[in-house]
Structure 1
């Protein structure tokens, strides 16, 4: 995660360059580090100011000048005999790291330098770990703190300092009552902090969740607090770490929301981010027969599975519909979900609004029925015929039976439109009886169309069409006003999925025209009877 180059400089006016180079070339450089070794016969400030490790192996040197050149964190090693070292120590005071007494072997220089490199690596890893930790906790909007076993704060994040109005330096090492500006007697009473929570975490030795109230510079605050024990290498608890999420605003909103919920004309359910139901209103109880205290704590998905089995997803995102029984009557509810976010834009729950749309759906169904249906006969109309075929035909074979009543105009002229209407309605019922599974359309006037999707032999179609003719004749002859009516029928088929609907319709009309030419009251199949 990091890389650092270290400059090792050796000041040696003696002819021992080979000694030092051979000693240091045997170094095993730790991962993340690289070294550059230079042996200098005389001091050079431009070079020494970049030293990370400076080894002085000189009989005489200007200690003050060298100290002025060295970086703050540079390692300084002194080499020499006992007399030289004593003099150097007196001159430098404590501004050196190690003393290597002459004489020593190459292996000694290698081993000691190796150890210094390991120390530098450890220090850099410690620094970067601390930096990672500080950056991480300061990026968290929640309050984060670490305490020792006595309850003193060892480390806190920026959000914590913002909440208490103090700096990190001021907080470090201090206890709770000082940090939160509580009097010791208030702290001891535990009026605004839960003293038992720390003890519980230390006793249970596991992460615990608490609801805590704390007096802050912004007044009384409500927190959801997670506290965990921190263990040492021996398994003993060293202290605790805590993360507190400020839910004060959400709690205040919840109070206001409760008033709004109970006054709403819709059934409303509130669930938390885990999908657990936490609240409902009076209208909800009216619809579903479950009071708030009974449904609270239930898993929303389980409740939905038990009571809302017939939920239909709508095209618009977030909307569902279901039918329920209320006082023995079916009611249709539209259920809409709205997410609930906290002050940090974190999802903390969901609001489910159940609005009764029974009347609306009945009106929609009626409007749709009227738009698709012939008012007189109740059959499908011409417009819906094209819509239905576009949605359902696909690659299926299609057969059409075109029916036209013979003598219908004469009945209208002789007995009036009431008799004509009676004939149309009677014909529609007979068609539904003879073709219960097929799509029947009133094209207009006294013209009807029976459409069959799927394989069907022409001989079968003719047989069924003739049976319809017989039924119509029998019914017409039973009425004095309608006994002169008969029906001409034209049949057309196509197994070509590319064939246009209007093409098949025109062919069935041509077959019908052929039936009328042959004397009416007949049935002709397009192609066979031409």
Structure 2
């Protein structure tokens, strides 16, 4: 079983008790973390799985009252105090003072083994539930009387009942049948379970069941369940509905049609012997255009340009509705002698998840309101692209922006920021434009840009910004100020360069706004 982890705290007690408890041998793969607290005044003493309370008389009751219900308690106290403990909660163990020196380690070992057994039991139950609910076939467990003890999700779907409704009920109730109806039919479910218990071995049956969906045929494996003494206590069954399967070819056809992704099967001669409807849908083909063709030829034509993506391959194709993305994977098919007899190719349409991933990348790199790059993306861009290039920065913010929010509301402020962002993008299409926050923006240019040119273009930007704002009555008071900084030193920290641009912006503000400073 998986490892178990247990947090144990000692509240009060002597160093001798702590040493004795630490000496308790834990079961294999159970890892214990011990901590000792002198009194309930210390924080964190109740944050554990097991709490050993060894406080002076009169204090244990208070500790019990303050301990969460899910913490297992070991109380060390006198007879009278133990008798006064609340009866409405469970205790892992009670030790009567004076406690013999050998007792703590011995009793703690017993508790640790009990915890490990419960831990393993719960894990085993969880593993069983996970396993059977992952199986698309019907799975059930019955007692010797034929009452259902456990079923999987597929079973519930088949009978149209919940697990709570099924538990403890018999065959007739679950399948909505009357005993005389069962006797008049060709059903063998109950008889087959009797045979399994008599033979004490797993058996395979073909069974008919009259369900809500009509008469269904199942291929069913049934096995006896034994207790530790070898006595049969029930049966377990796995049933596959093969009503529509007349032969192996039909079974394969139905399986392929039911798959939510494309499947191609290559035969021993290298030809495609089977293609399901999803493949035809994905690539806009007819069945006779695929089946019978050489598999490698088809793959070269329709999966050309595929890029590795983990253990699979990703291919994009243009269609009338735009780009489509497919993920495909190949597996060899082997016969019973482990000889390769073909290949199985699965093709999944991942357009939705691919586009979602692209949107998430864009969303994580851009400002939601303006669509400009955000601060995190800016630093990554600088790290990946700056190298030894000249770095030019224009630090810009809006003049009197707060007045727009105060007079017209934050919705108007948002409109002003969007308008500013659009003007920035039109004026510096080649720049990396970032919204740093609020009404502050940063234009970054890498490469040989002259300072004089930068100054002229920034002046033009400020005029365009003012003209754009004047077209909206709400923004008549708005303009923009800018600070420019430039560096040819690749060793200068980018934050230092930003600070220089910010200082220039501040100077522009001090000089009356709607202007720039270098």
TM-score normalized by structure 1? 0.47
TM-score normalized by structure 2? 0.48
Between structure 1 and structure 2, the one with the greater Rg is 1
